[in-house]
Chains A and B, each alone.
Chain A
Amino acid sequence: MRHLGVLARIALSDEEVERLTGQLSVIVDNVAKVSEVATPDVPATSHPIPLENVFRSDVVGQMLTVEQVLQNAPDATEDRFKVTAILGEEQ
């Protein structure tokens, strides 16, 4: 559970960890339920209405102004977003 909290970037209190751990069984139950019919011969449907090759032509369109980009920024300086120190490396 702590690991899930790290992956999801949500700090969890002990109480939340306990409560959520109990609820993971919901997922497990759902899996058990769908496994009854989700046999290997059934193809998966990721899009309800099948389409393919939906493209945009390579033509520059509207962009945001710097003001628009930054208008909701919790913190910004020098026309960029500002965040506190980063520990981990880039992926």
Chain B
Amino acid sequence: MVKDALMDFDEALERYEPVLGFEVHVELNTETKMFSAAANPAHERNHGAAPNTLVAPVDMGLPGSLPVVNEQAVRYSISLGLALGCEIAPSSRFARKNYFYPDLGKNYQISQYDEPIAFEGQVEVELEDGTRFEIPIERAHMEEDAGKLTHMGGATGRIQGAEYSLVDYNRAGVPLVEIVTKPIYGAERRAPELAAAYVRAIRDIVIGLGISEARMERGNLRCDANVSIRPRAAAGEPAAPLGTRTETKNVNSMRSVERAVRYEIQRQAAILAAGGTITQETRHWHEDTGRTSPGRPKSDADDYRYFPEPDLLPVAPSVELIQSLRAALPEPPAVRRRRLKESWGFADIDFQGVVNAGLLNEVEATVAAGAAPAAARKWWMSEISRVANAEGVDAASLVSPASVAALQQLVDAGTLTDKLARQVLEGVIAGEGTPQEVVDARGLAVVSDDGALIAAIDEALAAQPDVLAKIRDGKVQAAGAVIGAVMKAMRGQADAARVRELVLERAAQ
């Protein structure tokens, strides 16, 4: 691969203004496919199905086969359109997008073209520091996914140099909604960050709606990022026309979206600064090298010969249907975040930390299970996140919000000290049961029998007469040494505050 020249990011932003655009494909998790009654591999239950086992005649373009639209996919698409703040078309229709490719059973994709089901919306996106952007949505349309190609021989998995390819039509016909933005201006140096935040916002929305598994690593959510840059206009001059854009495909994580946008800005800036021109093309993101490489240039081959799909009829949702789907929409993620932040009384930075860690749901559920918001946040953001990072897993997979709430209740009741509670949490994560069960099994409860404490204190004071003298002299802080010894003797299972009280009491006698 030829190594691209890159301009320093800050310099690129000084000289050029980036303009973004995104096409996000969302695989719906309906039971069946968009146009056939075959089970949908994008539904959790069918994940990992063996090749060519989820195929109906139309999915592989068998002669004589015909498509029939999945009603649930239409409802999901309308719901998504509404959640994106779009208008829902009173009538929309499908078209054929004609091109030959081995993963496309009919050699045309049934998609929506000039009459999408949803159009003209906006999505609120929040950056890490809480800054908000409105992303203008051009349209959201229904279409079908293509099958899956595996390239064999040559460099593993790469199309270049492969000797042959294998085709699996399980994914062919999976219902997709493609969300297309309008050009996005004003992101400036935060363009890469905004790109990731936009994809995250779409993911939050579809998860909130329950219409997609939304796992980027599985391709349930896929982002094509359009990037162009243009020279900054001098003061008082009109803005330059939009630059030539590239479309980077195949960006399968939010971090990659961010990196790919950053890379394209730097690459394009280097070309323009050297007097070159940008080629309008698709580019491919390479996760391993962190670079993009040129794909197909835009050309005559993009003559898709769209025409209305004659095998299908217009989709004309009734006003009542749209109203009922609108009424059933969950709270928009941005609104929900504002509501939670207010009710929890968190500082900006604390709240944003939870959001950025992707632990909003967990904290909310923990609070709902009875924990104080600050305590819930503390558990998830510190101890649980630490273990999750160490083990490379999702924090949410380690422990349930109910267990975290129960643990905090034991602390609140004085049954556990913070330190003991951390040990209990360890046990819960290790699968030893509920917090109470771990307390019982490990014998971790605080020793609240003053008699046992006093015995230990008297022993410690006797062993450290100098300390006793200091305390009696009024040097109360010297008590720490005795408290430490007592806590050690009690193997941590004592309330340090109570020990302190008792130490001062005994010393005074």
Contact = CB atoms under 8 A, between A and B. Distances in A.
Contact of A47 (B60, B69, B295, B313): B313
A63 B31 CA distance: 13
B56 interface: yes
Given A7-B305, A46-B310, A90-B103, A58 B163 contact: no
B37 A60 contact: yes
Given A3-B300, A7-B303, A86 B159 contact: yes
Contact of A78 (B54, B151, B166): B166
Contact of B164 (A7, A47, A82): A82
A52 B315 contact: yes
Interface string B48-71: 001111111100100000001111
Contacts of A25: none
Contact of A46 (B38, B165, B295, B308): B308
A55 B68 contact: yes
B159 A80 contact: no
Contacts of B146: 90
Contact of B73 (A6, A58, A63): A58
B365 to A, nearest CB: 29
Contacts of B73: 58
B102 interface: yes
Interface residues of B, number: 62
Given A62-B37, A78-B51, A86-B159, A55 B71 contact: yes
Contact of A58 (B53, B70, B305): B70
A69 B60 contact: yes
A85 B39 contact: no
Contacts of B93: 46
Contact of B169 (A46, A69, A85): A69
Contacts of A63: 37-39, 53-56
Given A61-B37, A63-B53, A91-B101, A53 B164 contact: no
A81 B39 contact: no
A33 interface: no
A64 to B, nearest CB: 5
A79 B51 contact: yes
Contacts of A9: 100, 107
Contacts of B295: 89
A63 B40 CA distance: 11
A60 to B, nearest CB: 5
A39 to B, nearest CB: 20
A70 interface: yes
Contacts of A81: 102, 166-167, 169
B314 interface: yes
Given A54-B68, A78-B51, A91-B101, A83 B37 contact: no
Contacts of B305: 7
Contacts of A58: 30-32, 70-73
Interface in B455-477: none
Given A52-B316, A86-B162, A80 B150 contact: yes
B149 interface: yes
B50 A66 contact: yes
Interface string A33-56: 000000000000011000111111
A3 B146 CA distance: 25
A47 B307 CA distance: 13
Interface of B: 30-32, 36-39, 50-57, 60, 68-74, 91, 93, 98-103, 107, 146, 149-151, 159, 162-169, 249, 282, 284, 295-296, 300-301, 303, 305, 308, 310, 312-317
Given A56-B69, A63-B37, 19 more contacts: A7-B301, A7-B303, A46-B308, A52-B313, A53-B313, A55-B74, A57-B71, A58-B72, A58-B73, A62-B37, A63-B38, A63-B56, A64-B57, A66-B50, A77-B166, A79-B168, A83-B165, A89-B295, A89-B296
13 contacts: A7-B305, A46-B308, A52-B91, A58-B30, A64-B60, A79-B50, A79-B51, A81-B167, A82-B164, A82-B167, A88-B301, A90-B101, A90-B249
Interface of A: 3, 6-7, 9, 46-47, 51-64, 66, 69-70, 77-91
Return the 8 tightest CB-CB contacts between A and B, nearest first.
Answer: A61-B37, A58-B72, A55-B71, A80-B166, A81-B167, A89-B295, A56-B68, A69-B52
